[in-house]
Structure 1
Amino acid sequence: MTPVSQFTAPGGGPGSDVGRRIAHSRTQAGLSRAELAHAVGADPSYLRYIEEENAAPGTAVLLRIANALGVSLAELRGTAAGYPDGRGRAASEPVLEEMDEAECRRRIGAHGVGRIGFTTEATGPLILPLNYTVVDGELTLRSTARGPLAGVAGGTVAFEVDRVDEALSAGWSVLAIGVLRHVTDPARAKALERAAWSGAWAGRDRTTWFTLRPERLTGRIIRT
C-alpha cells in the first residue's frame, strides 16, 4: 500500500515535478536525504516518498523544505520558472568583487547552462542559451549544422554563465571570450558525445559540435 501522511495533498503524480525539484535542490545544497529530513522534522522515508513517488506535500512541509534548502516556495512548485532570476530586492549592503581565473573555472564547473553572444551582419547582436560540458578546459557546445553558431565559427564569441541566489540577493557571473571552432573531425565529435553530461536541452537534432577555449576568463560575485 502507498504510504500517506498528514502533509500529503492531492495532485501528485509519479516522479512529480515538485519531488524532482526538491531532490535537485537538495543535491545542489550538498545535503543528504537524512539531513534534510532532520532539518524539516520529517521521516527520511517520507522524504524519499516525496522525491520519488506519488506525493504532493502540503504548503506547511513544503515551506519548511524550501527554508532548509535556501530556495523559495515558488522555485519548488515551479511557479517561478516563467520569470527571470533576481526578482527579489537588493541587499542593504552588497559587496561586489572580481574573481580570479581559478575561481571562474571552479564556478563554471564541469557542465551547466550558459548564454553565447555574438554579432552577425544578418542578425545584429544575438544571445542564445545553450547547455555545455567542459572537456579538457574547453566549453563544448551543440547546435544544428546550419544554425547561428555555424555562421560564426572561426570568429570571436562571448559565453556567459551565472547564478542568482534569490534568498540572499546575491549571485555571480563568469564571462569567457574566445574563438568558436567547428568540430569537423568525426573522431573528435564522437569523443565529445561520449564526454557530454547531457544531450542538447533544445532537442536531439542538435548534433553538430563546437568548442570554445577561453582566451579571457573574468568574473564577478555579489556577496551579502
Structure 2
Amino acid sequence: MADDMTGAESGGASERESGGGAPVPEALDEAECLRLISPGGIGRLAYLGRYGPTILPVNYRLYEGTIVFRTAHDSPTDEDLRTGIADADYKVAFEIDELRPETREAWSVLIQGSVRHVESENERASVRESGVEPWAGGARELYLRIQPTRITGRRIGGKPPAAADR
C-alpha cells in the first residue's frame, strides 16, 4: 500500500534505500516534524483565494503549538482569509522544507488546519512574544495563527540525528 505523503510502499526490504541506491522518502512522526520547524523561518501558505489557488511565502514562528505569521491589515491575504462568518475559520495548508541538493538530503513538513485572525488585545500581546518578524517592508501588524489539525512530514536521504543530539 502506498504512503499518502511519500508514494513509497511501506514494509519493503529497505525503508532507507531503493534497489537502485536512491534514497526512499521516510515518513516523519509529528514530534520530529515539530522539532524540525521549531526554529521558525520561511514557509509557504496555501489556500484557495478569490482568484484561485494561492501560495505565498511568509516568515513564521511555531508558538504555543500554532504557526504564527504577520501580514498587513486590508492586504489581499487578510481579505482572502476572512470568511465573513463569525467564529468560522478558513482551511489552509502550510509547508516548510529544507533542501540540500549537494548531498541529496531534504525534509518537508506539511501542516493542515484552520487559520484565524488574532483580534483580541490579550491574544495579540501573547503572540507578539513569538518574535515573528516579516521580511517584507511596510506595516504588517496583523497576526494570523494556524491551528494544526494534521501534521505530516518526510525526509529523503541523510540520517536522522541520534537521540543524544536532539
Q: TM (normalized to structure 2)?
A: 0.74
Q: How far does residue 179 in structure 1 lie from its aligned partner after superposition? A: 0.5
| Correspondence for 1:167 | 102
Shift of 1:170: 1.2
Distance 2:126 2:35 in 1: 23
Kept in 1: contact 2:61–2:67 (CA 8 A): yes
- Aligned partners of 2:111 and 2:148 also within 8 Å: yes
Tell me the matched-pair count: 132
1:213 & 1:184 partners in 2: Cα distance? 15
Pair 1:187-2:115 in alignment: no
Aligned to 1:80: none
* Bigger Rg, which one: 1
Aligned AA (1:194): E
Partner of 2:111: 176
- Say whether 1:111 aligns with 2:40: yes
* Structure 1, 179-188 or 141-150: larger mean CA deviation: 141-150
What is aligned with 2:164? none
Q: RCO higher in 1 or 2 (8 Å CA, sep ≥ 6)?
A: 2
Q: Contact 2:39/2:62 (CA < 8 Å) preserved in 1?
A: yes
- Equivalent-residue separation in structure 1 for 2:52 and 2:72 (angstroms): 20
CA distance in 2, matches of 1:192, 1:203: 20
Q: Deviations over 1:87-127 (max 9, x none)?
A: xxxx952121111111111111131110000012x210000
Asked if structure 1 preserves the Cα contact closer than 8 Å seen for 2:68 and 2:130, the reply is: no
**Structure 1 residue 204: Cα displacement:** 4.0
1:182-218, Cα deviation, whole Å (9 max, x unpaired): 000022112222331x421112411101000110000
After superposition, the CA RMSD in angstroms is 1.7
Deviation at 1:171, TM superposition (A): 0.2
Find the counterpart in structure 2 of residue 49 from structure 1: none
Please state if 1:137 is matched with 2:65: yes
How far 1:162 sits from its partner (Å)? 0.2
Aligned-pair identity (%): 35
Find the counterpart in structure 2 of residue 219 from structure 1.
Answer: 153
Q: Distance in 2 between matches of 1:195 and 1:106?
A: 16
The normalised TM-score by structure 1 is 0.56
Give the 4+ runs in structure 1 shifted more than 6 A.
Answer: none
Q: 1:93 aligns with which of 10, 22, 27?
A: 22
Which structure has more strand as a fraction of its residues?
2
Shift of 1:146: 1.3
Q: Distance in 1 between matches of 2:59 and 2:119?
A: 20
Which one has the bigger helix percentage? 1
